[in-house]
């Protein structure tokens, strides 16, 4: 059975929340879909111990309580065709029809392989943050945070709030790049305050520039790490290493719908116009899926997309001006935290690249294209459908083009059966 909404919004992070709210205020019926049980996306992910900031709570409440919005939690989009989406929740699978669609599917962390990165105790930076918020015990644990980008500070602050002993933060960007970035920060006063607040929460935690974790070691679990800094190599004993190298847009659903993509460094993002309209009629996109821009861009773009999806003409121009400012900040971030060659050279021939299918970097040497690599090694064909390994390989400049195929996520047979039974999407079941 198919439900129909005037506007369907996929994702209840900052972009999806403001998109749904802006559309609903135009009087249309909105379905707000998210795979998670609770709204908030990545930045406002539910924390079992600490409540979200007041602004986030207001934003979530205003959207979920809006009379025109149906909130569909724990509902994953696993397939798509023009005008409708195949979704499954814990009880059933069904088609959702839409007049207009807003993709606010966010981003995921870029994890780059290095010796020992698959040991228990090693996670992404945002990954550790998510675990802590879901109740993973960190009290008293020795935690090191490493990689690149502002997410490292946020992850370290979350770990500390949850009782971890954060030993250090190692940032691969060089000191000179960071100084240039800091000197230009006066243009974004809110960001200065945000950074200052994080530094206060992390008082006493050393922050090292130009430093890379080159290996994680341990028998059954992480015991120590090796770090290469500007002046020396050192070993640090720790219980948990959180290491992430920025974010990559979640473009799989957009690609399945036929939306045009464009380069975002080594990754891809959805191409949109000034009204957040993609290349596909009736499909809009907002937030990190259109390029990594942070929470403020996501909020503004969501509002633009929500209005544009209803055909509204007013209220968009002022948002577009604010969007330009927020995106300019994102460009600065991208330049400052660009991944250096040292990081790209960390993986060795025997380092696992595809951890779903146990494929090493060396096993890919013989293959120049993604198809050959997939056929011979199964790289990218496991449950994550290349979300981790293809993202990493793109950064390493190897085997480009491994991409998720339908279904977008591992799906129940019941869901797959629904597709061909309708007679229009046999490809979903193949
Ligand atoms: C792991 C991680 C942690 C982060 N932590 C912070 C932080 O602490 N501070 C900060 O400023 N920024 C953080 N960020 C950056 C953050 O992504 C943005 O600032 C902001 O959350 C982007 O908002 P968004 O609405 O574009 O996407 P998101 O907030 O990522 O929301 C996207 C939503 O779409 C849903 N979704 C995706 N695909 C589907 C599908 N097929 N079916 C159903 N639902 C789907 C997801 O479940 C998710 O809830 C983090 C990013 C990541 C990846």
The pLDDT, as a whole number, for residue 410 is: 87
Q: What are phi and psi of 69, to 5 degrees?
A: -110, 125
Rg of the chain over CA atoms, in angstroms? 21
Residue among 37, 105, 129 to mutate when testing ligand 1 (max atoms within 8 A of CB): 105
Burial per residue of 314-346, b for 16 or more beta-carbon CB atoms within 10 angstroms, e otherwise: eebeebeebbeebbebeebbbebbebeeebbeb
Decide whether any atom of ligand 1 lies within 6 Å of the 151 Cβ: yes
Looking at ligand 1, which atom is closest to the CA of residue 286? 26
The pLDDT, as a whole number, for residue 173 is: 96
Other CB atoms within a 10 A radius of the CB of residue 163 amount to: 13
The string of DSSP codes covering 205-271 is: --EESS-EEEEEE-SSS--EEEEE-SS-EEEEE-SEEEEEE-EEE--HHHHHTT--EEEETTEEEE-
Decide whether any atom of ligand 1 lies within 6 Å of the 15 Cβ: yes
52, 158 contact by CB (below 8 A): no
The pLDDT, as a whole number, for residue 111 is: 97
Decide whether any atom of ligand 1 lies within 6 Å of the 308 Cβ: no
Q: What are phi and psi of 150, to 5 degrees?
A: -65, -20
- Closest CA relative to residue 17, chosen from 108, 101, 133, 104: 104
Decide whether any atom of ligand 1 lies within 6 Å of the 241 Cβ: no
Coil, helix or strand for 378? coil
The pLDDT, as a whole number, for residue 385 is: 87
For ligand 1, the distance from its centroid to the CA atom of residue 331, given in whole angstroms, is 19
Decide whether any atom of ligand 1 lies within 6 Å of the 404 Cβ: no
The pLDDT, as a whole number, for residue 277 is: 98
Please state, in angstroms and as integers, the Cα–Cα distance from residue 430 to each residue in 25, 92, 240, 406, following that order: 41, 21, 40, 8
- Closest CA relative to residue 21, chosen from 293, 319, 257: 319
Decide whether any atom of ligand 1 lies within 6 Å of the 106 Cβ: yes
Looking at ligand 1, which atom is closest to the CA of residue 87? 42
For ligand 1, the distance from its centroid to the CA atom of residue 41, given in whole angstroms, is 4
Coil, helix or strand for 159? helix
Q: Which residue lies with its CA nearest to atom 27 of ligand 1?
A: 106
Cis before residue 407, ω within 30 degrees of 0?
yes
Q: Distance (Å, rounded) from C-alpha 366 to C-alpha 373?
A: 8
Q: How far is CA 8 from the centre of its chain?
A: 20
Q: Element (H or E) spanning 396, and its range?
A: helix 389-396
Looking at ligand 1, which atom is closest to the CA of residue 16? 25
Q: Element (H or E) spanning 203, and its range?
A: none
Other CB atoms within a 10 A radius of the CB of residue 140 amount to: 9
Show the domains of the chain with their CATH numbers: 2-108+248-335 (3.50.50.60), 111-245 (3.50.50.60), 341-396 (no CATH)
Six-digit token pair at 275?
Answer: 């009204």
Decide whether any atom of ligand 1 lies within 6 Å of the 108 Cβ: yes
Decide whether any atom of ligand 1 lies within 6 Å of the 125 Cβ: no
Six-digit token pair at 233?
Answer: 């190599």
Decide whether any atom of ligand 1 lies within 6 Å of the 63 Cβ: no
Positions in the chain whose pLDDT score sits under 50: 421-430
Q: Please calculate the CA angle 42-256-311 and round it to the nearest 5 degrees.
A: 75
The pLDDT, as a whole number, for residue 430 is: 38
Six-digit token pair at 69?
Answer: 């919005």
Q: Distance (Å, rounded) from C-alpha 69 to C-alpha 30?
A: 5
Which residues partner with 87 through β-bridges? Answer: 77, 94
The pLDDT, as a whole number, for residue 427 is: 45
Six-digit token pair at 359?
Answer: 């494929």
Decide whether any atom of ligand 1 lies within 6 Å of the 31 Cβ: no
Other CB atoms within a 10 A radius of the CB of residue 83 amount to: 14
The pLDDT, as a whole number, for residue 402 is: 66
């Amino acid at each position: 059975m198919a439900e129909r909404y005037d506007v369907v919004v996929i994702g209840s992070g900052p972009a999806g929340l403001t998109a749904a709210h802006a559309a609903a205020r135009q009087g249309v019926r909105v379905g707000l879909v998210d795979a998670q049980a609770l709204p908030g996306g990545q930045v406002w992910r539910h924390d079992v111990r600490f409540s979200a900031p007041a602004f986030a709570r207001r934003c979530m409440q205003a959207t979920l309580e809006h009379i025109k919005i149906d909130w569909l939690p724990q509902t994953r989009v696993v397939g798509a065709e023009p005008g409708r989406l195949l979704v499954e929740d814990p009880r059933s699978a069904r088609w959702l029809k839409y007049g207009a669609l807003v993709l606010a599917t966010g981003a995921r962390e870029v994890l780059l392989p290095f010796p020992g990165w698959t040991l228990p105790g090693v996670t992404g930076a945002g990954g550790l943050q998510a675990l802590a918020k879901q109740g993973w015990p960190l009290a008293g644990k020795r935690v090191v945070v490493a990689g690149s980008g502002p997410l490292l500070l946020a992850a370290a602050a979350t770990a500390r709030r949850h009782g971890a002993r954060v030993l250090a933060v190692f940032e691969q960007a060089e000191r000179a790049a960071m100084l240039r970035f800091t000197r230009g920060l006066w243009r974004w006063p809110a960001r200065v305050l945000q950074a200052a607040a994080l530094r206060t929460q992390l008082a006493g935690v050393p922050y090292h520039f130009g430093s890379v974790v080159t290996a994680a070691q341990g028998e059954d679990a992480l015991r120590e790490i090796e770090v290469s800094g500007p002046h020396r190599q050192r070993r640090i004993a720790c219980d948990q290493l959180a290491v992430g190298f920025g974010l990559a847009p979640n473009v799989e659903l957009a690609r399945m719908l036929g939306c045009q993509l464009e380069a975002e460094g080594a990754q891809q993002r959805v191409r949109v116009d000034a009204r957040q309209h993609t290349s596909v009629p009736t499909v809009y996109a907002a937030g990190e899926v259109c390029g990594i821009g942070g929470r403020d861009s996501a909020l503004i773009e969501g509002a633009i997309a929500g209005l544009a999806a209803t055909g509204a003409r007013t209220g968009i121009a002022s948002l577009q001006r604010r969007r330009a400012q927020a995106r300019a900040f994102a460009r600065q971030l991208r330049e400052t935290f660009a991944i250096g060659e040292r990081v790209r050279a960390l993986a060795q021939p025997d380092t696992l690249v595809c951890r779903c299918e146990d494929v090493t970097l060396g096993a890919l040497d013989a293959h120049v294209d993604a198809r050959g690599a997939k056929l011979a090694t199964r790289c990218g064909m496991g449950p994550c459908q290349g979300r981790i390994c293809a993202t990493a390989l793109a950064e390493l400049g190897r085997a480009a083009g491994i991409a998720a195929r339908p279904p977008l996520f591992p799906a129940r047979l019941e869901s797959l059966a629904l597709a061909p039974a309708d007679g229009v999407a046999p490809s979903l079941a193949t």
